[in-house]
Structure 1
Amino acid sequence: MRKTLTASAIAALAAFYGQAASAAEAGDFSFTTGLDYSSGKYGGTQSTDILYIPFIGKYETGPWSFKLTVPYIRVTGPGGVVKDIGAVKAAGTERTTESGLGDVVAAATYNIYGSTGANPLLIDLTGKVKFGTADENKGLGTGENDYAIQADAYKTIDQFTAFGTVGYKVFGEPVGISLDNVFYGSLGGSYKFNPQTSAGLILDLRQKATAAGAPQKELTAFVSHKIDKTWKAQGYVLQGFADGSPDWGGGAMVSYAF
């Protein structure tokens, strides 16, 4: 399973973090936090519920931006679901709850192209390292480092911004689990209703990471609002369409620019 605040994950939300420069106009450093909650059966008979609370620092200088995510994660379910991968082993029958530090993620982004004017085009190249800091014995992670590279493009036409991502992720190899490297991507758009408020949709896709696993496919709807020059907030809901994704999810984030 991919968290949208990545990894999804966040993100993973491509629109929120890809357009974070608009929230950081007041300075070079921004801090983001919030919560993400998701629930899914991942091809099983019982649901796995995940609470994910990230603490994200971002520094921008010229065409470069650097981001560090330190998350707290709580997983309730029958076991067998590992963050970022999906169901990789037979689940148990007794529901348990485990919590603790999640996988710390460091990312560096370089703006390789940026046009100016009323309808700009931006293209970014990003490298990511996911450190295996989550406790694998609790099922919070694999205990291994993962690596990813991705390209993001944003094109604005009047009040509408289209954006897309293409990436490739290399998994570390935990003991007893065979993982395949995967391609992933997203496609979406946002509409700016006024200078403060925008809303949009994001479709996320990813190949399955294990032979017995499932690909990921999920749709996220979001609303973003600039409270003032330093504060930005966003809420979102998520619907999964594959066994590798949560059945549903949602969350809220707030960002402060120094």
Structure 2
Amino acid sequence: MPVARPRCVSSRPAVWAAEEWAVENLKRGAAMKSILFVLSVLILQATSLPALAGSVPPQFAVGLGVDAASGKFGTDSTSTYVSVPFILDWFPTERIDLELTIPLLYQKSENTGVAALGANAKSSARRNMGYTGGSASLAGGGASAGDSEFGLGDITLTGGYALLQDSDTTPLVRPTLYLKFPTADDTKGLGTGKFDVGPGVAVSKWLGSWQPFVDSRYIFQGASNEDTGARDYFIADTGIGYSWNERFYTSAYARVGSTVFDGMEAPLDIRLKSVWRFAERLNSEAYLLKGLSDGSPDFGGGVAIFVEF
């Protein structure tokens, strides 16, 4: 006669799930510790440099940030998104800037079915206290309802070239190009698994201590087709900034765009942002947002610290 299996065998899936959860948490902790260690070393090195070195325009900046957002996106349930981006800026010349962003993502999507936030694709120009950009890529993956996921997000690369410099007669005109690499796990809903590309342009003008600006971009999603529901989309920030002194800058602006996925509204929110240079080679950025449509989070915000060298 067949031998019955021990009843304890049926508990193995639960044990495996617990083991996977423990391993995943160890990975999260190790990744965060590594990033914080690198940033701490850079901060210590930056603060130990002589003050005279600060007079030389920096060629590099390394940053670590935290972005969080929460919203219902037109549903009855709340979804939460957290991104921890590691950011590397390179300024090879006065006119050219490049930014590489490597984000760790956490998302809990209860009923939206689609990740509405992804890695920020900021158009950086951190060598001055003016507007530093912030046209984000809103495209995410196709997370299942009730999922809670963590992992590497899509790595992005953004470049800009100052075609015209801000002067008495001309504004700053800066064409940009955005690339998204499919490094996120699309099976977890952390990305679409496709490349994205987007040309854009940023225009700003100093009028005394005031700086009106607009930063726009059109994103061609590699996943744009009937199967995913993803669409190519337009996104733009427009507003005005004010420089209180050489170390502190604030801005208020609106983020507008077109629909990113079928069935979602177009994003629309308002934002307040500050940039504070609290040391010779250290500066911080912080922002708050309030969504005005179901295509944007209800609330959100973020903070980042940058070390220049």
TM-score band w.r.t. shorter chain: 0.7 to 0.9
1:217 offset after TM fit, Å? 0.4
Bigger drift between 225-234 and 170-179 goes to 170-179
Instruction: Kindly name which structure, 1 or 2, has the bigger radius of gyration based on alpha carbons.
Output: 2
Please tell me whether residue 57 in structure 1 is matched to residue 88 in structure 2: yes
Shift of 1:86: 6.8
Match of 2:192 in 1: 142
The superposition leaves residues 162-204 of structure 1 with CA deviations (integer Å, 9 ceiling, x where unpaired) of 1102221100127821322112211011111122112111211
CA RMSD of aligned residues (A): 2.2
Percent identity between the two aligned chains: 24
**Whole-Å separation in 2 of the counterparts to 1:136 and 1:52:** 16
Is 1:85 equivalent to 2:178 in the alignment? no
Aligned mates of 1:197, 1:103 — CA distance in 2: 31
Tell me what 1:130 maps to.
Answer: 180
Q: RCO (CA 8 Å, sep 6+): is it higher in 1 or 2?
A: 1
Which residue in 2 is equivalent to 1:198?
Answer: 249
Deviations 1:64-122 (A, max 9, x none): 11111000000013151223237968x63xx33210000100112111000446x9721
Give yes or no for contact 2:140–2:191 (8 Å, CA) kept in 1.
no
Q: State the shift of 1:224 in Å.
A: 1.6
CA separation of 1:234 and 1:210: change in aligned 2, threshold 3 A? closer
**What TM-score do you get using the length of structure 2 for normalisation?**
0.70
The residue aligned with 1:11 is none
CA 88–71 in structure 1, closer or farther in 2 if over 3 Å, else same: closer
Q: Is the 8 A contact 2:283 2:307 kept in 1?
A: yes
Q: Could you tell me which of 250, 264, 274 is aligned with 1:223?
A: 274
Letter in 1 for 2:188: K
Greater share of strand residues, 1 or 2? 1
Shift of 1:242: 1.0
Secondary structure at the counterpart of residue 157 of structure 1:
coil
Match status 1:29 vs 2:83:
no
Q: Is the CA contact 2:277–2:283 (under 8 Å) kept in the aligned structure 1? A: yes
The residue identity in structure 2 corresponding to 1:102 is G
Give the match for residue 210 of structure 1. 261
Find the residue that maps to 1:166 and give its secondary structure: strand
SS in 1 for 2:164: strand
How many residues align? The count is 232
CA contact (8 A) 1:132 1:142 kept: yes
Match of 2:147 in 1: 96
Q: TM-score of the superposition, structure 1-length normalised?
A: 0.83
Counterpart of 1:105 in structure 2 is 156
Letter in 2 for 1:59: W
CA–CA distance in structure 2, aligned partners of residues 135 and 56 of structure 1: 20
